[in-house]
Structure 1
Amino acid sequence: MFTVRTQHLYQLFGFKARFSYLHMKYLFFSWLAVFVGSWVVYVEYSSYTELCRGHECKTSICDKFQKGVIDGSACNSLCEKETLYLGKCFSAKPSNQVYSGIWGDIEGIIKCQMEEVPHYDLGVELEPRKDFPSFNRPTKGTSVEKFKEMVFSHLKAKVGDQANIQDLVTLVLGVADSNKDGQISLSEAHSAWALLQLNEFLLSVVLQDREHTPRLLGFCGDLYVMEKVPYVPLYGISLPWLVELWIPTSLRRRMDQWAAPSWPRKAKIAIGLFELVEDLFHGTFGTFLMCDVSAAEFGYTERHDIKVLDAKRIVPEASFQEVMRERRCDEDSDCVYGRDCLTSCDLTKHRCTTEVTQPNLAKVCGTLKDYVLYGAPSDIKEELEKQLYACIALKGTTEQMELEHALTLNNLKTLLWKKISHTKDS
């Protein structure tokens, strides 16, 4: 009897101990989940409030507009009619506000500079800092002719001494005349001068007749509205960062390929990117360098035409060389701009050289290699791979190499175009 009762008590206390242990374990993990969840919410909220300052940007811009300091084609809609409004925040830096926007029935992307123009991995910026918002140039009393001279000198410093630089001045002044009355007011000139400091605005003017850059829809001060690109990025799918942590690289790469368009459409997108390289290399207003050719910098339209998403990292070669010429260095890694523009270090002078080690075409081929080889037709896959690797190996910009670049570019476009020209995707 005693043994049975003792055994029963042992079982009872053992059950209570197990129950208490499970209860404590449950409480611990519940507390941990609440703590981690709260931390994630706090980090996300803090990050959002730091990065997304669109209300501040709009308030500052509209204050300047209402005081007559700035003017532009988007000012009335933004500040008075309120038919242009900011939507979802896409800002990656507090100093460069990026939002989706609706302007009447048009979707666009709104970009606004806060405090300073963002700069990249250089000791000296290609886009010089400015006090925000100053809009103090040109000064009151400046004539239109004097303003034209200011624009001419600025563009000459940016793109080099081009024979047709006056044509570029005319294009810029045409954009500056926002109400198309044939006159440029001081407030319009303030806006135009602020925008001219931005590489993206300059490129949108240079390539406005081409299809590879989104159209500039309007501006107010240095806030500007660009055409929205429907499909972004060039390839790959966006996942929450918590999910990204648990996905193996090989699986992630496969998922990106599964989400990509059909191969003929990828080929058309690739041809568009090669055409962009042609436009930027010895173009109408000089050569521009592509200093970030990652997939995230490009998108495409319903018709699978390539579009540049962020042109801030496409810089005039003349400006790049001027900065690099004065850049001190101890090794080649000191001579880098953005992600992809690298020169070598002259150790005898401890100065960076001015010629990029890899041309635009080679960088684009590196970005496109896996994209266009995956799913490529078997009858051209081997030749396509051979040409892509030859393209990636291109170096330098000497006269002989320029001829090789042109030949490589033409061969790749021809190979892809012949394969898709008879399809509906062409």
Structure 2
Amino acid sequence: MKYLFFSWLAVFVGSWVVYVEYSSYSELCRGHACKNAICDKYRKGVIDGSACSSLCEKETLYLGKCLSAKPNNQVYSGGWGDLEGVIKCQMEEVPRYDPGAEMEHRKEASHFNKPTKGTSVEKFREIVLSHLKTKVGEQANLEDLVSLVLFVADYNKDGLISLPEARSMWALLQLNEFLLAVVLQDREHAPRLLGFCGDLYVMEKVPYTPLYGISLPWVVELWIPAGVRRSMDQWFTPSWPRKAKISIGLLELVEDVFHGTFGSFLMCDVSAAGFGYNDRHDLKVMDAHHIVPEATFQEAMRERRCDMDEDCLYGVDCRTSCDLTKHRCTPEVTRPNLAKACGSLKDYLLRGAPSDIQDELEKQLYACIALKGSAEQMEMEHSLILNNLKTLLWKKISHTKDS
């Protein structure tokens, strides 16, 4: 009787696990539905882009392994001829529970109804300019950013932007990650944009992800203490000189997004899962959904109601304070990008660091983590700490083949 009971229990638990895993997979992995919706719009002439024909007619662009972490953001590995890429496809609406919903206007984008028929290229340019002014703020290089966006929109480079091309680009411009890919396309820290169709887009595949750590079955994860898990993650990392080069890449990314050519961006989730690196150990951004334009973030925070500071959090790392006289969040973040990046790198860099720089490296990392207030308010200290860290790491690895 005892064996029968345990056999029944094992079957019950096994069936429950299979059901939960299947339900989770079917909710997270809806690439077929996303592809069908995109291709239906393409065949009707509503949208167009460099990836449309390959995805919907030639079928040389295919969706492979599902990598999705959220139902509304479908992510797949895939192939496009000889190229390996990551395909990202947006489902129609952001779920109501998503705290980042106010940062991306997905509902408007998914209908592909803007610009309207009869809109001239000059009028579309004005629409894009107005949108980007709201997104990244007023700045001297805004016209250059608009020209860059229109250059990407004209995928066949015929000097014209058709209505379907414009509709695809307008949908893509609602996405923080796509905007950042355009802004950083000449920098080595962002994977190359390979193509798009509607609001589906294809990015260059990053060979090594995440930045560090190991993926374990969720059943195993339940039984591993957080401290042990952090130690285990550090076992699966490259040699220290290579970690130093990857870390320099993250510090350079902080420079690129803080008061960069096309405005300032806030890094609201600086976790290992959002980054990877290539064979040359150049850091690459894997998931930029939580790297948001500062102007967009500040506007959203001004509108957010709060009763305590904990209500004023976006993503994992972007926190402001609550103004209790107005019950509204203040717009300025309490920690700059650099402090968050150093917090993510601390254990990664200190483990295995050469003994002759261990103490100095630890001191600089803790000084970096202690930075408070916006980077703009403390620009000199911010720049000094950033340069000191980069110099210390470069001096140690400049003579090695890993540099």
**Match of 1:350, as an amino acid?**
H
Does residue 328 in structure 1 map to residue 305 in structure 2? yes
* Distance 1:264-1:187 versus aligned 2 partners, 3 A rule: same
Task: Go from structure 1 to structure 2 and tell me whether the alpha carbon gap of 1:54 and 1:132 turns closer, same or farther (over 3 Å shift).
Answer: farther
Residue number in structure 2 paired with 1:174:
151
Q: How does 1:93-108 map to 2 (within 5 A)?
A: 93-108=70-85
| Equivalent residue number for residue 46 of structure 1 | 23
Cα distance between partner residues in 2 of 1:118 and 1:72:
27
In 1, the alpha carbon distance for the partners of 2:72 and 2:255 equals 32
**Within-5 A mapping of 1:17-416:** 24-117=1-94, 122=99, 125-130=102-107, 133-397=110-374, 401-416=378-393
Relative distance call for 1:106 and 1:124 in structure 2 (3 A) is closer
> Identity over aligned residues, as a percent?
81
Q: Counterpart of 2:289 in 1: which secondary structure? A: helix
How many Å apart are 1:123 and its aligned residue? 8.1
Cα distance in 1 for residues equivalent to 2:9 and 2:294: 53
CA distance in 2, matches of 1:247, 1:60: 41
Over residues 162-201 of structure 1, what are the superposed CA-to-partner deviations in whole Å (9 max), with x where a residue is unaligned? 1110000000001000111111000000100000000011
Evaluate the alpha carbon distance shift between residue 291 and residue 219 of structure 1 in structure 2; reply closer, same or farther with a 3 A threshold. same
- In the TM superposition, residue 119 of structure 1 has moved relative to its aligned partner by 7.9
Q: What CA distance in whole angstroms lies between the structure 1 residues aligned with 2:179 and 2:323?
A: 31
* 1:122-144 deviation digits (Å, cap 9, x = unpaired): 48601124157410100000000
* Residue-pair matches, total: 403
Residues 214 and 175 from structure 1, CA distance in 2 versus in 1: closer, same or farther, beyond 3 angstroms?
Answer: same
TM-score normalized by the length of structure 1: 0.92
Alpha carbons 2:338, 2:386 under 8 Å: kept: yes
Check 1:251–1:399 CA distance in 2 against 1; reply closer, same or farther (3 A cut): closer
Contact 1:346/1:352 (<8 A) preserved: yes
Q: Distance in 2 between matches of 1:382 and 1:240?
A: 37
Larger Rg: 1
Q: TM-score, normalised by structure 2?
A: 0.97
Q: Is the 8 A contact 1:120 1:337 kept in 2?
A: no
Contact 1:199 1:311 (C-alpha < 8 Å) held by counterparts: yes
Matches of 1:249 and 1:273, distance apart in 2 = 25
After TM superposition, where is structure 1 displaced by more than 6 Å over at least 4 residues in a row?
A: none
Matched residue SS, 1:88:
strand
The letter for the 1-side match of 2:272 is A
Note the residue ranges of structure 2 that are not aligned, 5 or more in a row: none
Q: How far is 1:208 from its partner?
A: 0.6
- Following TM superposition, by how much is the alpha carbon of 1:403 offset from its aligned partner in structure 2, in angstroms? 0.4
- Could you tell me which amino acid in structure 1 is paired with residue 215 of structure 2? S
RMSD of equivalent CA atoms: 1.5
Offset at residue 253 of structure 1 (A)? 2.6
1:249 CA displacement: 3.3
The 3 A distance-change label for structure 1 pair 143 and 131 is: closer
Q: 1:248 to 1:286 in 2, by over 3 A?
A: same
Compare 267-276 and 250-259 and name the one that shifted more: 250-259
Distance 1:117 1:425 in 2: 42
What SS does the corresponding residue of 1:312 show, helix, strand or coil?
coil
Aligned residue identity for 1:382: D
Alpha-carbon distance in 1 for matches of 2:142, 2:249: 26
Given that 2:375 and 2:382 are in contact with CA atoms closer than 8 Å, whether structure 1 keeps it comes out as no
Structure 1: tracts of 5 or more residues without a match: 1-23
- Over 3 Å counting, the alpha-carbon distance change for 1:131 and 1:31 in structure 2 is farther
